[in-house]
Structure 1
Amino acid sequence: MTNLFNPIKIGPLTIKNRFMMAPMENGLAGEGGVVNDRIIRFFEERARNEVGIIITGSVGVSPEGRGLPTQLSIYDDRFIPGLKKLTNAIHNAGSLAGAQIYHAGRQASEAITGIQPIAPSAIPCAVVGNDPRAMTVEEILEMKKTFVQAARRTVEAGFDMVEVHLAHGYLLHSFLSPHSNKRTDEYGGSLENRMRFPIEVLREIAEVCGNHTAVTIRISADEYLDDGLKFNEVITICQEAIKAGAQAISLTAGSYDAVEYTIQPMFIDQGFLVPFSKKLKELVDVPVIVAGRLNDAKLMERIIEQDEADMLAIGRGLISDEELVVKMHEQRYDDIRYCVACNQGCIDNVFQGKGITCLVNARAGFEAERQIEEAITKKKVVIVGAGPAGMEAARVSRLRGHTVTLIDKEESVGGKFNILATPPEKDTFLLYKDYLHNQLTKLGVQIIKENIKTVFDLKKYQPDSVIIATGANQTTPSIKGADLNHVILAEDILNGIESGNTVAIIGGGLVGTETAKFLANAGKHVTIIEMADSIGRGVGPTFAGHLFAYLEEHNVNQIVNAKIVEITPEKVILENQEVVADQVIIAAGYAPNNSFIGELNQEFKNIQTIGDVNQARRIIDATEEGFLAASQI
């Protein structure tokens, strides 16, 4: 048995295994930060599936310090009954519960709180676009009391652990960081001064918690900013935190000014924080908890087996698969629905004030209403199209007891998965493809290669229910010269067709920019031509900065507000300039592949259409529609 399932002690707590649900925001609480049934069901289901301890996300200690409208609050005694209901549910489901108390500081927004943000120094956060003011010494002392009162409420609400948030650029971290703390009094300058306020807060919280509630900190091992907090200083902070009462150290990274290291997208290496946790373990005598793209079973086992950390903090991995811990325990590795680090359904939604969803798990955030229940009447279900929508529909249909046939014109399943995974840093999309394929094989879904073009092609399968998931095809805009031989589609390039050396890409959306990355990485000279005023529409906040940096590093030219007049064999002619190109690539949109659906509706009664055949969108939409369609059969 792997050491992942050995108990661990943190202060007064004995935790049954080495899995912590990381304090990731989920946007599921009620307006103003109140506990509701939706957030209870979300955490309850993870607790029921053997997570050792669940940290319920950041809990706001003060009205002006709340970062999101749907974020739990603890700044008043009136929140205690709801939080008590939450901890009771988690306990009854078999897990321990922790609260991460925090104040957003310079990363708060007056648009959300109605109050001007406060910070150690009046330095705006570029991501939020706010105008914080510097705290007075009197306000610092008062804020210390605010944190301590929040800790008292945490204990009264039945939480087993209080995690003090010293990470991600929030208030206490912003005092620690030379990037955000430019004070010249006793709370700024030297590390000793920058530590003063956070360590005083921690010490008094530890006194409130006494011997019955564990006290830990979460801290960014590296802020990943040139003038930010670095690991050498973090080591000292951790050592002082332990003296002040911290009983474990949970390592994370980044701040809003380096947000890609806070909620790591695909381009950040798996387990990138493990070297920090391994080093810190050599220097402190309390458990060290590590996070950061732990989406591989062997990696998770290795970290604990090789004593590189004492515990794993997993956020997105427990959103993508609520049964992760159970599957790890039973060594059902092929059944794990790994997080692909797309950030679309989780953090992108949360930043917009919405509740989480998940690209690979349509139940995430909808635990109560989206159950996979056995069908009363078993049917013969035929699904046309084996992309993500069709594969998910097949999986859920089969789990409900239906006989399922999945038909696709290609030799192998996956639809556009391979195209999506071809550009640099996008290969983890294949984790989802592999999961779906494994499940279809285990469940006995019949997969047939056939190009269904007419009603008669489908009629021979005698379906009781039909799901059409035939996707969408790239379109070519009506530009003079678009029919020339050197003009091809972006998907053709990503499918392996050799490109020219000097390439113009028409369209700067997701497909155009990813194709540009692919070609630039191969050493091609690339120009993106976009009719809108910017490229990268639809790229999430954790990806955008890296995308633009990548394109700049690889000398990809960008022309926006462009109107194309003509494509010739040597160039693309715009209204006000010309772009030399020996190849032109079209990335200008999609049209649904739905030409024969009208005929099908006349022949079959029970037809549903899902995914891009309705409208070209993203995998997250395909997954949801596939799940919901299968749930209705």
Structure 2
Amino acid sequence: MTVRATLDPLFEPLRIRDHVIPNRLVNTPHQTNLAEGGLVGDRQIAYYEAKAAGGVGMIVTGGWAAWRRTWTSPAANLATHPDAATGQRALAEAVHRHGTLLVGQLHDSGRQGSSALSRQPLLAPSAIADPVVREVPKEMEKSEIRDMVRSHAEAASRLCEAGWDGVEVFAAQGYALAQFLSPQTNRRTDRYGGATVAERMTIVLEMVDAVRRSIGSGPLLGVRINGHDMVAGGLEVDDARQVAVMLTETGAVDYLSVSGGSNENHPGWIPEMGREVGTFLPWAGRIRAVTSLPVLVTSRIASREVAEQALTEGRADLVGMTRALVADPELPRKLRSRDDGAVRPCIACNQGCLGNIFAGAALTCTINPGAGRELDRPRPPEVSRRVVILGGGPAGLQAAVRLAERGHTVTVHERAQEVGGQLALASRVRSRAEIGRIVPWLRDRAELLGVRVELESDMSAARLADDPADVIVLATGSRPSTDGFTSAIPGVRRLPGVGLPHVGTVHDALAAGLELPRRAVVLDDDPHGHATSMAEHLGSQGVHVVLVTRSLTAGWWAGPANAHPLHERLARADVTIMTATWATRIGEEHVDVRSVYGDFCSRIHDVDRVYLATGNVAENAIHDELVASGEGRPVIRLGDCRAPRRLDNAIWDGWNVSLEEGGHR
């Protein structure tokens, strides 16, 4: 399979049939919501071409619905759309211009889909509701199974006729074919069910055969499988090894792509920053041991070290990256040139990528706002100016980088001993450590561009009056609210007892260093994850923690992208959670609470410490002083000092800073 040996295992070509993948890095399937009425449009072409131009060896597109019955949104692609050929051909041409192979994953959600577009029942092997979608599907009749197989074959044929290099059958992650494979979701008694893996493989083998016959012997045919379902009653790694052997024996399959998980641990196949890197490497290695096919492994692989480990330890032949290439499409070129430090690091936060998709919006990236916006025109050249930025948090650092890239002379003043703002504190919690990885990257990038960063520099309006800057940029952030107010009980402006000495904010506690209490209460009305991070941090060190939240669930900030792993960690930390509840009074050694929706009241006894996570207040003192002094130079605000929001908002503000238009106010 290997074409030639090189000193760098990541950039050793791989031959499969008559196709040569120029290196071992693969852009793995993911939904983008960049389709237009189900068709490939210019934005989607630009998105994938940027990855091809960045040097990735193969792109496997995701979210290409194989038939209308599983098409969930006009923003998702429909491979069999009657007008799809033109766009699909244009995408292939764009990717091939850069020597990258293009493969299309054939998507069928089964019970994990949505009936909103089709208005038809979801289809699944058995009428068992998905734990996330919670819609009871229709058990597929044999005629519907035949339609599904035929549609996949047609979709595969259309993509290959449009010049694509191959297709991938999707039998993983709890989607349609995986539902047939799992004994947990397949209770059929006909030829498509059964007690053994071999019996439940029937439809997968039929699908592989039909697709291979439809595309002929030339194009690639891969199959994505689970290394483990990660749920009781599902497939385990020995079952996955049997699946791999059976697929190998068909002689029709060219490679296996190893993933894992299902909607019971949604979305376990897109592990967030609290999960271990190389999540599926152990399972991929065990599967590779029983097959002669090349094995592609994915999930939580974002660095040279982990990617090389997968190859050199014999666990995989190809390394899949999704979020890492969203964060930096040029990652392969940078690794090839040994410029690893220039790679914009994925922090696995699942906000801009997965979070946006769940919200029905187009994919973007928290730390790379240009993702999904490759067609946005670059700003015209600006007259070089001297810019002073107050605040070395993510908004200030990102603004410094963007302005320096445009030729401005930039100085950043940060009053703390280190840059990073609130990220520097958040990253002190073990499961949130990676959120801080963007800080050194921005700092190093800024310094490389000639930005001067002054630490422990507390600029005032008076000092700014003597600064020679032409433009003032304020990225002064926000400070934690200390009054205990919650909009769930709007009549109480200040929570009684918040001034007691054992009460403080999560922010202040992390900044000062924790003296572990015996029993703590964390009050959660927080859009940023501070409350749950503190509760987890304390609980994991043996502190008895009661997390009191006004919401129906703790950590609503996490959304569907991160909620499952968050609550797993809170459970492991033995955190007690009181939902739809808020404090009415904090006493010397107790906290009185009441239901947000009723009259239920109770008291939490023997409390040593109370931590507030009740949102933030914009830090605008310097801005107000400048306005009052009649400052004549442009004053631009970015990030939390405009309004306390999320990390992606701060980065976005810095990315889009404009001096010519007067910037943000």
TM-score range, shorter chain: over 0.9
Q: Does 1:255 align with 2:265?
A: no
Deviates more, 1:550-559 or 1:231-240: 550-559
Aligned partner of 1:621 among 635, 642, 649: 649
Paired AA for residue 587 in structure 1: A
The CA distance in 1 between the partners of 2:532 and 2:373, in whole Å, is: 33
2:310 to 303, 309, 331: 303
8 A contact 2:132–2:263 mirrored in 1:
yes
Shift, 1:110, TM fit: 1.0
Query: Match for residue 488 of structure 2?
Result: none
1:497 matched to 2:514? The reply is yes
Match of residue 341 from structure 1: 348
Which of 419, 427, 431 does residue 421 from structure 1 map onto?
A: 427
How big is each residue's C-alpha offset from its partner over 1:345-385, in whole Å with a ceiling of 9 and x where there is no partner?
011111221111111111111111164x6733111111110
Structure 2 vs 1, CA of residues 596 and 376 (structure 1 numbering), >3 Å: closer, same or farther? closer
SS at match of 2:78: coil
Matches for 1:51-200 after TM superposition, within 5 Å = 51-189=56-194, 190-200=196-206
Percent identity of paired positions between Structure 1 and Structure 2: 29
**Inter-partner Cα distance in structure 2 for 1:562 and 1:163:** 48
Per-residue deviation, residues 276-318 of structure 1 (Å, max 9, x unmatched)? 2222222211211111101122221232233321111111010
CA gap of 1:498–1:398, structure 2 versus 1, over 3 A, is same
Q: Does 1:607 align with 2:641?
A: no
Identify if the C-alpha distance between structure 1 residues 310 and 532 changes in structure 2 by more than 3 Å, giving closer, same or farther: closer
Distance 1:349 1:536 in 2: 17
1:514 counterpart letter in structure 2: S
CA contact (8 A) 1:396 1:631 kept: no
Deviation at 1:489, TM superposition (A): 1.0
Secondary structure of 1:398's match?
A: helix
Q: Is the 8 A contact 1:424 1:521 kept in 2?
A: no
What secondary structure does 1:56 align onto? strand
Letter aligned with residue 97 of structure 1 = L
Distance 1:399 1:374, change over 3 A: farther
Residues 465-474 or 448-457, more deviating: 448-457
Tell whether the 8 Å contact from 1:147 to 1:205 is kept in structure 2 after alignment: yes
Post-superposition Cα deviations, 1:167-220, rounded to whole Å, max 9, x if no partner, equal 111111111111211101111012222100111110121122223211111111
Match of 2:385 in 1: 379
Correspondence for 2:609 among 576, 583, 590: 583
SS of aligned partner of 2:389: strand
CA RMSD in angstroms comes to: 1.7
Q: Tell me which moved more, 318-327 or 418-427.
A: 418-427
Alpha-carbon distance, 1:91 to partner = 1.4
How far residue 325 of structure 1 moved from its aligned partner, in angstroms, is 0.3
Letter in 2 for 1:590: N
**Alpha-carbon distance in structure 2 between the residues aligned to 1:325 and 1:149:** 33
Deviates more, 1:253-262 or 1:37-46: 253-262
Q: Could you list the per-position Cα deviations for residues 414-462 of structure 1 after superposition, in whole angstroms to 9, with x for gaps in the alignment?
A: 1111211122311111221121122122222101135545322113221
**Amino acid of the structure 1 residue aligned with 2:123:** I
2:358 to 351, 355, 359: 351
- Specify the alignment match of 1:543 in structure 2: 562
How far apart, CA to CA, are the structure 2 residues paired with 1:543 and 1:288? 28
Superimposed CA distance per residue, residues 26-47 of structure 1 (whole angstroms, 9 cap, x where no aligned partner): 111113x211111111111111
| Offset from partner CA, 1:500-555 (integer Å, 9 cap, x none) | 21111122532111111111111111112223443222212132122223323333
Distance 1:631 1:199 in 2: 60
Distance, in Å, in 2 between the alignment partners of 1:407 and 1:604 is: 20
Distance in 1 (CA, whole Å) between partners of 2:172 and 2:581 is: 43
Q: 1:508, 1:528 within 8 Å by CA — same for their partners in 2?
A: no
State the match for 1:214 in structure 2.
Answer: 220
Aligned positions, number: 631
Which range moved further: 235-244 or 264-273? 235-244
Aligned residue in 1 for 2:489: none
SS of the counterpart of 1:467?
strand
Q: Which residue number corresponds to residue 531 of structure 2?
A: 512
For the residue of structure 2 that corresponds to 1:58, the secondary structure is strand
Cα 1:395–1:482 change in 2 (3 A) is same
Conserved in 1, the CA contact under 8 Å of 2:540 and 2:573?
yes
The equivalent position to 1:596 in structure 2, one of 600, 622, 627, is: 622
Cα drift, residue 481 of structure 1: 1.7
Q: 1:272 to 1:561 in 2, by over 3 A?
A: closer
CA contact (8 A) 1:64 1:108 kept: no
Per-residue CA deviations over 1:314-338 (Å, capped at 9, x if unaligned) read 1101000011001100111111112
Equivalent position of 2:338 in the other structure: 331
Equivalent position of 2:497 in the other structure: 481
Corresponding position of 2:490: none
For 1:457, the equivalent position in structure 2 comes to 463
**2:405 is the alignment partner of 1:399:** yes
Moved more, 464-473 or 488-497: 488-497
Report the counterpart of residue 242 of structure 2 in structure 1: 236
Matched-pair contact (CA < 8 Å) for 2:244–2:290: no
1:163 and 1:532 map into 2 onto residues whose CA distance is 42
Residue of structure 1 in register with 2:25 after alignment: 19
Tell me what 1:365 maps to: 372
Amino acid at match of 1:357: T
Contact kept in structure 1, 2:169 and 2:224, CA below 8 Å: yes
1:571 aligns to 2:590 (yes or no) = yes
TM-score by length of 1: 0.96
What is the CA–CA distance in structure 2 between the aligned matches of 1:556 and 1:398, rounded to whole Å? 46
Contact 2:389 2:410 in 1 (8 A): yes
Pick closer, same or farther for the CA change 1:632–1:133 going to 2, 3 Å.
farther
3-state DSSP class of the match of 1:110?
A: coil
Secondary structure at 2:61 match in 1:
strand
Alpha-carbon distance in structure 1 between the residues aligned to 2:418 and 2:427: 15
CA distance in 2, matches of 1:309, 1:94: 22
AA of the residue aligned to 1:456: A
TM-fit CA distance, 1:632: 5.4
Distance in 2 of aligned mates of 1:19 and 1:534 = 39
SS at match of 1:126: coil
Q: Classify 1:501/1:532 alpha carbon distance in 2 versus 1 (closer, same or farther; 3 Å).
A: same
The equivalent residue for 2:486 is none
The reply on whether 1:436 has 2:442 as its aligned counterpart is yes
Measure the CA separation in 1 of the matches of 2:632 and 2:247. Answer: 67
Counterpart of 2:597 in structure 1 is: none
Distance 1:630 1:7 in 2: 43
Question: CA distance change for structure 1 residues 237 and 289 in 2, over 3 Å: closer, same or farther?
Answer: same
* Paired residue type of 1:173: A
**Which residue identity is paired with 1:434?**
P
Consecutive unaligned residues in structure 1, runs of 5 or more: none
Q: Verify: 1:412 aligned to 2:421, yes or no.
A: no
CA distance, structure 1, for counterparts of residue 322 and residue 284 of structure 2 = 17
